[in-house]
Structure 1
Amino acid sequence: MGLTRWLRDRRVRRDLEDYQREVLDTHYREVESMYRRMRMWRHDWRNHIQTMKILAAQGDVDAVREYLDGLDDDLTALDMRVKTGNTMADAIINSKMSLAAEHGIDVHVDANIPVRLDIPDIDLCCIIGNLFDNAIEANDPLPPESRMIRVYMDMKGSMLYLSFTNATASAKRTKVGGRFRSTKRAKGHGYGLMHVDAIVDRLDGYLNRNSEDGAFTTEILLPQGG
């Protein structure tokens, strides 16, 4: 019995490590893609100016207006809409907001990190990325008008406070053994929440999840020095 449990725990740890590497790689690709598009846009800036000069010289005002509208759409897609004061948080939040927009989800973020965090960047990335990914997936079954994600981050004394609320098609869920059971079935599903739990526990933080009809909220407090 002891050997069986040891083998099971070892397999879970291995699967969790594999999942962590996969998620980090996905987050990295999303952030890198956003920055790559920004660099390409800046590189093409002179070409855009030259094109508009030619159109203006030809007196084609409608073409200039259409070209500017296209550039405005591109800039909107690339704009770092959220600036928290923390580079890692900015990168992962903005990349995930772009992903949520592709899923037709209304996202509102109120985030402010006015201090240098003790949290390792990789942990912050994993927490925010996993919570966003779970929130996006929970919204997908809903009609577009019902999809929403609300994110709040700020300092509460010496603690960093994070709150994620997302719409969900599920009715109010009950906890089993103090935890909400994952409703996901595919291999690897559920590891995102396990990874968040493990990080919060390792950082001596506090985590609470609350389920209501049509909404799910995760709250986290992480100590910061002093």
Structure 2
Amino acid sequence: MTDYLPNIPRLYTALAEWSACIIYITLLRKSLIHWKLIIFSVVALIVQSLFLVLTKDLSIAFWIPCMIVAIGMMFILIYKSCDIDAKEAGYFSIRAFVAAEFVASLEWQVHTFFFKGEQNSFFLELITLIGIYGILFIIIWLLEKRHIPKIGKLNIRQSELWSTVFIGAAVFGISNLSFVTTKTPFSGQYAQEIFNIRTLVDLGGYSILYAYHIQLNELRVRHELKAVQNILQNQYAQYQQSKESIDLINYKYHDLKNQIIALKAEEDDEKRNAYLTKMENEIKSYEAQNRTGNQVLDTVLTTKNMYCIKNGIILTCVADGTLLSGMDVIDICTIFGNALDNAIEYEQKIEEGKRLIHVSVFAQKGFLMIRFENYYEGKLKLDGDLPATTKNDPLNHGYGLKSIRYAVQKYDGVVNVAQKDNWFELKILMPLLTNKGNNKIS
């Protein structure tokens, strides 16, 4: 270390690191709230401050290990306070550390420039510290707030975490190189020069990590949009195939009915007539089902019901399909197709006899209500306002419900999920639609 250059007080560093953590904790989804979060944060600040103050006189050999421990404390504060996994906590810990290094460096550079290392009033130094820390961390909070998802988590991958660690380590190493030795091409020779290097490198490091964060967000948005669009198209393609299949089945059933009529006219056997009458009634029952007043909805429901019958699932429906007359075909396929697919997928995991699904579509106080209910065992866990996926790759799953929400929001509607006793309930509420002819079948 250079002996002529006053270094940042360890207490200032601890306060900057703690404040940076708090910035991200306020933006992420929290596991600790209210007094638990306040108490844990205060304890973390005390521990962080004591550690850095007590280790300030150790030799240079312990400098890097102490910084690693300090980052570890920041990781624990973020990880325990927020409902995120370890990779994501590590990602935000590195970003918080680099932000803290920049804020602490800039504040101390301003401090030494104006106070020239002289003894000044404690009150004046405190005002300077609070003012600069406050302004900079507010700016950082405003910047970060724009690019943190509403659900408060990013699902950071391993490679993204290591990229962030590499950038953070490079920034820390270069910014503090002059404090270790001045005999390198990248070191400063004079106090002001060294201060400038540290502050500017830290600023550049934070900017790089911020740009990388924006890029990750944009990639995720594109990935999600592409996945949702694929689901929309797949549900519509399924509808088209189902429509063709059902049209063919209806044609065959119509022929069969005519054949039964002919057979009844030719045969006078009482038992034969009873059997044929039963067949005719079954055909009538088939023709009567899923007649909701909306051809698209009828097709989707009939297709899903046929699958349910094969898998021992009882699907019931009470729906006024005319209420969907102003909705686009693709949106009807998306909402009903994905909701029923999710319900069917779950029902197949439980024992037969409990496999129940009910769909209802009705008007309520000037609004359109669409409700899906299926028998549910266990406790519902939410990821934001949607159920958490139970699959191994959460980044590439869960788009069915997101596509439903995307379609519903086009009509100024909202999606709500809840568990009532042993029933999972998906409710969709939107203003009553007007018939715009959007659901015409091509």
Q: Residues of 2 paired with 1:211 and 1:182: CA distance?
A: 15
Structure 1 stretch 110-119 or stretch 150-159: which is displaced more?
A: 110-119
Cα offset, 1:142, TM superposition: 1.8
Q: Residues of 2 paired with 1:43 and 1:144: CA distance?
A: 35
Question: Residue in 1 aligned with 2:346?
Answer: 138
Question: Residue in 1 aligned with 2:357?
Answer: 149
Q: Residues of 1 paired with 2:235 and 2:432: CA distance?
A: 25
Q: Residues of 2 paired with 1:139 and 1:177: CA distance?
A: 23
Question: Residue in 2 aligned with 1:172?
Answer: 379
Question: Residue in 1 aligned with 2:416?
Answer: 208
Give 5+ residue unaligned stretches, structure 2. 1-211, 435-442
Confirm or deny: 8 A CA contact 1:123 1:199 kept in the other structure: yes
Q: Which has the higher contact order (CA 8 A, sep 6+)?
A: 1
Q: Residues of 2 paired with 1:175 and 1:205: CA distance?
A: 20
TM-score, normalising length: structure 2: 0.45
Cα offset, 1:45, TM superposition: 3.3
CA RMSD of aligned residues (A): 2.6
Letter in 1 for 2:312: G
User: Which structure carries more strand by proportion?
Assistant: 1
TM-score, normalising length: structure 1: 0.83
State how 1:21-100 maps to structure 2 within 5 Å: 21-56=233-268, 60-76=269-285, 78-100=286-308
1:217 aligns with 2:425: yes
Question: Residue in 2 aligned with 1:106?
Answer: 314
Confirm or deny: 8 A CA contact 2:324 2:433 kept in the other structure: no
1:191 aligns with 2:403: no
SS at match of 1:145: coil
Confirm or deny: 8 A CA contact 2:232 2:330 kept in the other structure: no
User: Which structure carries more helix by proportion?
Assistant: 2
* CA distances 1:139-168 after superposition (whole Å, capped 9, x unpaired): 112222111112221112332111111013
Confirm or deny: 8 A CA contact 2:347 2:355 kept in the other structure: yes
SS at match of 1:219: strand
1:181 aligns with 2:393: no
Change (3 A) 1:195 1:40: same
Letter in 2 for 1:67: L
Cα offset, 1:219, TM superposition: 0.6
1:123 aligns with 2:335: no
Question: Residue in 2 aligned with 1:17?
Answer: 229
Letter in 1 for 2:243: V
* CA distances 1:93-137 after superposition (whole Å, capped 9, x unpaired): 233223322222222222225557332232122211211111111
Q: Residues of 2 paired with 1:20 and 1:115: CA distance?
A: 21
Q: Percent identity?
A: 23
* CA distances 1:13-66 after superposition (whole Å, capped 9, x unpaired): 22322222222212332233222211122134332222233332xxx3323333
SS at match of 1:79: helix
Cα offset, 1:225, TM superposition: 5.3
Give the greater-gyration-radius structure (CA). Answer: 2
Confirm or deny: 8 A CA contact 2:376 2:422 kept in the other structure: yes
SS at match of 1:154: strand
Change (3 A) 1:213 1:183: farther
- Tell me how many residue pairs correspond in the alignment: 221
Change (3 A) 1:212 1:116: closer
Confirm or deny: 8 A CA contact 2:358 2:373 kept in the other structure: yes
SS at match of 1:138: helix
Structure 1 stretch 15-24 or stretch 192-201: which is displaced more?
A: 15-24
Cα offset, 1:67, TM superposition: 3.3
Give 5+ residue unaligned stretches, structure 1. none
